[in-house]
């Protein structure tokens, strides 16, 4: 089999028609207003309120700072129960707030925080649960909400992967006390870089707005030691243009996912998550597969390396687990992370993006089947 002429990466940002972005740029040029709550951002914020069916949103220059500010603004402290199977930014956001992460195991179907293992990790210092809709799959929302309520904990979702997902007909940002979305270029939906919080308590908006703009209340008043985490006009413009393509982006991701699933689900040693429940509109943001070395006849790492010979750059999201990174090795693990360890050893995330050709998806499947 021939290798791909050009590299196939795990993802590629969606580039909207250049004319549409340029049209918006003209306005930015005329305005001579580039950041600090500009008019393009103002309009974009309204579009997102509409898309997320809530007024309670706040925009940021990236998802990491959005989450850091969320934790600070909500006054989260002490210990937070979270997953080790995520991107490092989830735990970094805790660390930057001097909060101790308490790593909890995940469930085997969708790799989200396992509610059955959360409760035994609660201590008098626990203030919140920080769960991740990893790969865009919704967490076990009801079970987590129940635990949070019974123990008076804040329930925060890292929804970095979940833009466009809906549960029970509602945008996924409606669940929990707060959700953070990443608009990074590598995501299904993007604004080059960017982040957003959606939240239940409208009173938080003002705090978040202070925190992302140095704490300024007026020209002469600084009410808290904020940082600079504002979204600029170029980001807002890209976000606004890309938002018009959401239906296309979701449909394309689904189509790619379904080809992979159909071609690979019967290959011994390759497995997919179960299909989502009927009340979930999954966004198909990523295509994680698990590779079982014994059954497949090749380890996940060997397949990952083999792909490179064909110019395909799949990724091992999320390996290693966060507790394995040097900066988190000192975090004590009180209960085994059995499922998380198994999944991290087997997971491989296959390429998916809006302009990935059907033929190329089939060719990637051919590589797996042939090896
Ligand atoms: N929470 C979770 C659960 C997250 O996954 C993330 C971010 C965050 C929080 C934090 O949100 P942000 O602060 O980022 O808004 C990428 C992204 O940089 C990161 O945003 C994302 N998660 C993570 C899962 O993936 P890397 O280190 O894998 O990125 P990189 O540069 O290797 O890019 C992946 C592939 O994409 C490359 O092989 C090539 C391709 N690519 C990338 C870029 C940037 C392009 O073709 N064009 C591009 O412009 O982290």
CA 278 to chain centre: 22
In ligand 1, the atom with minimum distance to the C-alpha of 132 is 3
Rounded Cα–Cα distance for residues 47 and 76 (Å)? 30
Pocket test for ligand 1, best of 112, 184, 286 (most atoms within 8 A of CB): 184
Domains detected in the chain = 18-243 (3.40.640.10), 246-370 (3.90.1150.10)
Residue nearest (by alpha carbon) to ligand 1 atom 47: 12
Per-residue pLDDT tens digits of the chain, which is 371 residues long: 899 999 999 999 999 999 999 999 999 999 999 999 999 999 999 999 999 999 999 999 999 999 999 999 999 999 999 999 999 999 999 999 999 999 999 999 999 999 999 999 999 999 999 999 999 999 999 999 999 999 999 999 999 999 999 999 999 999 999 999 999 999 999 999 999 999 999 999 999 999 999 999 999 999 999 999 999 999 999 999 999 999 999 999 999 999 999 999 999 999 999 999 999 999 999 999 999 999 999 999 999 999 999 999 999 999 999 999 999 999 989 999 999 999 999 999 999 999 999 999 999 999 999 99
What per-residue confidence (pLDDT) applies to 228? 98
Q: In what order do the strands lie in the sheet with 100-103?
A: 57-60, 195-199, 178-182, 154-158, 126-132, 79-82, 100-103
Residue 63 and residue 182 in contact, taking contact as beta carbons nearer than 8 Å:
yes
Rounded Cα–Cα distance for residues 106 and 114 (Å)? 5
In ligand 1, the atom with minimum distance to the C-alpha of 65 is 13
Pocket test for ligand 1, best of 6, 87, 92, 185 (most atoms within 8 A of CB): 87
pTM summary value: 0.98
The secondary structure element, H or E, covering residue 77 is: none
Residues with a CB atom less than 6 Å from ligand 1: 9-13, 62-64, 86-87, 89-90, 132, 158, 160-161, 182, 184-186, 195, 313, 317
What per-residue confidence (pLDDT) applies to 119? 97
Question: 305: buried, middle or exposed (CB in 10 Å: 19+, 13-18, 0-12)?
Answer: exposed
What per-residue confidence (pLDDT) applies to 7? 97
How close is the Cα of 185 to the center of ligand 1, in Å?
7
């Amino acid at each position: 089999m021939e290798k791909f002429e050009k590299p196939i990466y795990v993802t590629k940002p969606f580039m909207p028609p250049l004319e549409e972005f340029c049209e918006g740029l003209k306005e930015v040029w005329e305005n001579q207003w580039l950041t600090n709550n500009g008019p393009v951002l103002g309009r974009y914020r309204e579009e997102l309120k509409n898309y997320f069916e809530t007024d309670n949103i706040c925009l940021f220059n990236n998802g990491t700072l959005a989450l850091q500010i969320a934790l600070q603004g909500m006054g989260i402290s002490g210990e937070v129960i979270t997953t080790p199977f995520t991107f490092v930014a989830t735990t970094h956001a805790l660390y930057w707030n001097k909060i101790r992460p308490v790593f909890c195991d995940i469930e085997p179907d969708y790799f989200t925080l396992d509610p059955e293992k959360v409760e035994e990790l609660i201590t008098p210092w626990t203030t919140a649960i920080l769960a991740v809709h990893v790969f865009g799959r919704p967490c076990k929302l009801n079970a987590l909400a129940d635990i949070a309520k019974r123990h008076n904990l804040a329930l925060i979702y890292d929804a970095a992967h979940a833009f466009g997902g809906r549960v029970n007909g509602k945008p996924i940002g409606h669940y929990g006390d707060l959700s953070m979305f990443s608009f990074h270029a590598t995501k299904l939906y993007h604004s080059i870089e960017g982040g957003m919080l959606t939240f239940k308590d409208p009173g938080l908006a003002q705090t978040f707005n202070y925190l992302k703009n140095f704490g300024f209340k007026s020209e002469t008043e600084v009410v808290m030691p904020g940082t600079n985490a504002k979204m600029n006009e170029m980001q807002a413009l890209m976000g606004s243009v890309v938002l018009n393509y959401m239906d296309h982006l979701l449909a394309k991701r689904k189509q790619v996912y379904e080809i992979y699933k159909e071609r690979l689900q019967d290959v011994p040693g390759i497995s997919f998550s179960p299909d989502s429940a009927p009340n979930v509109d999954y966004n198909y943001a990523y295509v994680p597969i698990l590779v079982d070395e014994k059954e497949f006849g090749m380890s996940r790492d060997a397949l990952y390396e083999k792909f490179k010979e064909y110019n395909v750059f799949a990724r091992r999201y999320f390996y290693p687990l966060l507790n394995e990174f040097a900066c988190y090795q000192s975090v004590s693990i009180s209960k085994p992370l059995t499922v998380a360890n198994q999944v991290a050893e087997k997971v491989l995330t296959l390429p998916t993006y809006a302009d990935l050709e059907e033929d190329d998806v089939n060719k990637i499947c051919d590589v797996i089947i042939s090896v």
